[in-house]
Amino acid sequence: MDWIALALSLRLAALTVLILLPVGIWIGRWLAFSDFRGKGVVEAALALPLVLPPTVIGYYLLVGFGVASPIGEVWFRLFGRGLVFSFEGLLLASVIVNLPFAIQPMQRAFEAIARDVREAGAVSGLSPWQVLARIDLPLAWPGIVTGLVLTFAHTLGEFGVVLMVGGSIPGETRTVAIAIYDRVQAFDNAGAGAMSLLLLVLSLLALSITYGLSARVGKRHG
Amino acid sequence: MADAVLSISLRQSGPIPLDASISSDAGSVMALVGPSGSGKTTILRAVAGLYRPRHGRVVVNGQVWLDTECGIDVPPYLRRVGLVFQNYALFPHMTALANVMTALGHLPAGARRSRALALLDRVNLAGFETRKPAALSGGQQQRVAVARALARDPDVLLLDEPFSAVDKVTRQRLYVELRELTLSLALPILFVTHDFDEAARVAGRMCLIDRGRVIQTGTPRDVLARPASVRAAALVDLKNVFSARVSRADPSRIWLDWAGRSIEAHAPEGFSGIAPGQAVSWAIPATQVLISRTDMTVADETPNRFAATISDLVHLSESVSVKVRLDGPDRPELSMTLPAHYARRTGLVAGSAVTVALMPDGIHLIMEV
């Protein structure tokens, strides 16, 4: 078992979840409650990571994060190191790749809140922030947790994008999924098997939680 | 108009056409009635700040909530408005008590609970405080919604078809409760409905709305029996509307020539400037048409008597809806409502030959400009 890779994976997943919690709520709520021209294009763009091969996303992120790119250049000026093949670069890539996993369940949960219930909050004297805290979040929390659980599980299992953007630097960018690949390459089937089993159990757990919460959302609004 | 507690003026050509000026005083219940899609709910939403019309002004107690010319648009949470939504829109994750307490944000935290309990008691819901909306009946949910709307200590109370989601028996009870409640409230109340009987039961004044336009305002009795236009008559489902010509008039009475029949009507108050030969429309409510089995040859002083034949007769729960065709080349059809016992006693059936009499004081002349 590669404990350093496991710790790195868990750290990456936890930070991705932490960043996508406010981002997902904000974008999910915005998409759920507003109607504008080009909304379909925005939703399609956010869903792209679901259908594109990870190597394609990885390739664009690699090009986009390189020192020759504006993002990479700004990053280099600020921190004196490159974004590619670093943990920070990996985290940024992870956040981008996980956008649909976080946003879509949250958006669906916000959409399930009846419009007049939110309006009733406003005419009862609740400010927009109070409507968020006292109506939106308490009603949408199963969807929010689902988005976070999916994000966490998906980050642990991501392979292609990690390999393209981060490579396999121990303690910096080598995640469990990469470590499994390395073990197999080194004919260490026992090590690969242990880590694979761990990922399998974690994924099953995450999906169980997700399905359980989806049923809860259905019951509440059904 | 200037000293009315609530004054609303809304104008836009689309997407929902609006051309409405409404004012209401404290303690008065104004019903906004009209067919589905006529813009009644939109007017209510504009008062609450949930809909912004292109041009409009809403003033409540001297406070300007909306003035599109001056760029004023107070957000809904800063308008002191109580709104009972059509489907109540209770917060599903909160108890009845928490629903009401949510609207008490203007009180100190320590005072909210006792105030919410008092409000629930006022709407006869003591004992149901800890129930969530899903565990309450339709009528109980409506009461929580009313308590929550009153909790805001509103300057204006808005009710959007509050009885549409409850059964008929519950509705009858809620009418009485709402009527008692409105009598004790010193604030203007706007009440949206498409049911004229409901409006007449609950409201003191009625505003008839058609495609976003206010086409008549008055007491429910006036609006229902004395429509200002043929369109208004159609909207209030006044079926007996006909065209005639004025044959002569004196200060108190008017005689019409209705396809050769002479009709006598009472001249309305302040009525002047009508000339013989002028074309008018006239209407008579179904309740003002009398029917008898006596023959036309029997001497009778009653004016406006005509021989007719019953063409249709439908028994309702407490009354009978009858249609008759008058004799004559044009065979016009009149609708009327009779007490059920009368129809039974006289043995009226479809095809019976009868005499109808139109009450002169029930005949309403529609003078459209």
Q: What is the CATH number of the domain that holds B118?
A: 3.40.50.300
* pLDDT at residue A151 in the model: 94
CA distances from B111 to A189, B42, B124, B154, B230 (A): 68, 34, 20, 17, 54
Percent of chain B with pLDDT over 70: 96
Answer yes or no: do B177 and B266 share one domain: no
Q: Which of B235, B263, B279 is the last residue in one of the domains? A: B235
Query: Is there a contact between B91 and A120 if contact means CB atoms under 8 Å apart?
Result: yes
Residues A92-140: tens digit of each pLDDT? 999 999 999 999 999 999 999 999 999 999 999 999 999 999 999 999 9
B263 belongs to a structural domain = yes
Q: Closest chain B residue to A220 measured between Cα atoms?
A: B92
Answer yes or no: do B17 and B89 share one domain: yes
Query: Is there a contact between B77 and A126 if contact means CB atoms under 8 Å apart?
Result: yes
- Find the mean pLDDT for residues A143-149: 92
Q: What is the C-alpha to C-alpha distance for residues A152 and A155, in angstroms, rounded to an integer? A: 5
Structural contact between residues B313 and B320, judged by C-beta atoms closer than 8 angstroms: yes
- Min distance A150 CA to chain B CA atoms (Å): 25
* pLDDT at residue B299 in the model: 65
Structural contact between residues B100 and B119, judged by C-beta atoms closer than 8 angstroms: yes
- Pick among B102, B119, B164 to test the A interface (most A CBs inside 10 A): B102
- Min distance B142 CA to chain A CA atoms (Å): 13
Percent of chain A with pLDDT over 70: 97
Answer yes or no: do B63 and B166 share one domain: yes
Task: Give every CB contact of residue A201 below 8 A, 6+ residues apart in sequence.
Answer: none
B77 belongs to a structural domain = yes
Q: Closest chain B residue to A140 measured between Cα atoms?
A: B93
Q: Which of B206, B235, B264 is the last residue in one of the domains? A: B235
Q: What is the C-alpha to C-alpha distance for residues B248 and A204, in angstroms, rounded to an integer? A: 92
Answer yes or no: do B12 and B27 share one domain: yes
Cis preceding-peptide flag for B276 (omega within 30 of 0): no
Q: What is the C-alpha to C-alpha distance for residues B227 and B268, in angstroms, rounded to an integer? A: 13
Instruction: Please list the residues that pair with B64 across neighbouring strands.
Output: B59
The amino acid present at B241, given as its one-letter code, is V
CB A88: neighbour CB atoms within 10 A? 15
Residues A175-202: tens digit of each pLDDT? 999 999 999 999 999 989 999 999 899 8
Q: Closest chain B residue to A117 measured between Cα atoms?
A: B89
- Pick among B42, B47, B52, B83 to test the A interface (most A CBs inside 10 A): B83
Query: Is there a contact between A122 and B93 if contact means CB atoms under 8 Å apart?
Result: no
B27 belongs to a structural domain = yes
DSSP, collapsed to helix, strand or coil, labels residue B203 as coil
Reported as a pLDDT band with limits 50, 70 and 90, residue B106 is: very high
Query: Which of A116, A125, A128 lies nearest to residue B152, judging by beta carbons?
Result: A125
Q: Is the pLDDT of residue B355 over 60?
A: yes
| pTM: predicted TM-score of the whole model, two decimal places | 0.83
DSSP, collapsed to helix, strand or coil, labels residue A112 as coil
Secondary element (H or E) of residue B145:
helix B138-151
Answer yes or no: do B180 and B287 share one domain: no
- What CATH number does residue B340 fall under? 2.40.50.100
- Min distance B28 CA to chain A CA atoms (Å): 21
Answer yes or no: do B47 and B97 share one domain: yes
Answer yes or no: do B57 and B82 share one domain: yes
- Enumerate the residues of chain B whose CB falls inside 8 A of the CB of residue A121: 91, 102
Structural contact between residues A127 and B99, judged by C-beta atoms closer than 8 angstroms: no
- Enumerate the residues of chain B whose CB falls inside 8 A of the CB of residue A126: 77, 102, 105
Residues B256-303: tens digit of each pLDDT? 999 889 999 887 776 667 778 888 899 998 888 888 877 766 667 778
Give the domain range for residue B261: 241-366
Q: How many domains does chain B have?
A: 2
Say yes or no: domain A3-221 is CATH 1.20.140.10.
no
CA-based max dimension of chain A: 66
Answer yes or no: do B178 and B277 share one domain: no
Residues A94-104: tens digit of each pLDDT? 999 999 999 99
Structural contact between residues B322 and B338, judged by C-beta atoms closer than 8 angstroms: yes
For the record, the structure tokens of A24 come out as 């997902």
Q: Closest chain B residue to A222 measured between Cα atoms?
A: B134
- Enumerate the residues of chain B whose CB falls inside 8 A of the CB of residue A125: 77, 103, 105-106, 152
* pLDDT at residue A2 in the model: 81
Each domain of chain A, given as residue ranges in start order, spans 3-221
Query: Which of A123, A135, A139 lies nearest to residue B81, judging by beta carbons?
Result: A123
Q: Closest chain A residue to B89 measured between Cα atoms?
A: A117
Query: Is there a contact between B83 and A123 if contact means CB atoms under 8 Å apart?
Result: yes
Q: What is the C-alpha to C-alpha distance for residues A162 and A89, in angstroms, rounded to an integer? A: 10
Answer yes or no: do B67 and B120 share one domain: yes
- Find the mean pLDDT for residues B86-103: 95
Answer yes or no: do B131 and B12 share one domain: yes
- Min distance A62 CA to chain B CA atoms (Å): 46
Q: What is the C-alpha to C-alpha distance for residues B232 and B238, in angstroms, rounded to an integer? A: 9
- Min distance B175 CA to chain A CA atoms (Å): 23
Q: Break chain A down into helix, strand, coil percent, rounded to 5.
A: 80, 0, 20
Structural contact between residues A176 and A156, judged by C-beta atoms closer than 8 angstroms: yes
Answer yes or no: do B210 and B286 share one domain: no
Q: What is the C-alpha to C-alpha distance for residues B214 and B38, in angstroms, rounded to an integer? A: 10
- Enumerate the residues of chain B whose CB falls inside 8 A of the CB of residue A135: 91
Q: Which of B204, B235, B266 is the last residue in one of the domains? A: B235
CA-based max dimension of chain B: 81
- Min distance A45 CA to chain B CA atoms (Å): 31
Q: Closest chain A residue to B83 measured between Cα atoms?
A: A123
Backbone angles phi, psi at B43, to 5 degrees: -60, -45
Secondary element (H or E) of residue A16:
helix A3-33
Answer yes or no: do B123 and B198 share one domain: yes
B114 belongs to a structural domain = yes
Task: Give every CB contact of residue A199 below 8 A, 6+ residues apart in sequence.
Answer: A156, A157, A176, A177, A180
B1 belongs to a structural domain = no
Q: At what angle do helices A39-51 and A3-33 cross, to 10 degrees?
A: 160
B223 belongs to a structural domain = yes
Cis preceding-peptide flag for B15 (omega within 30 of 0): yes
Q: Is the pLDDT of residue B218 over 60?
A: yes
Backbone angles phi, psi at B334, to 5 degrees: -120, 140
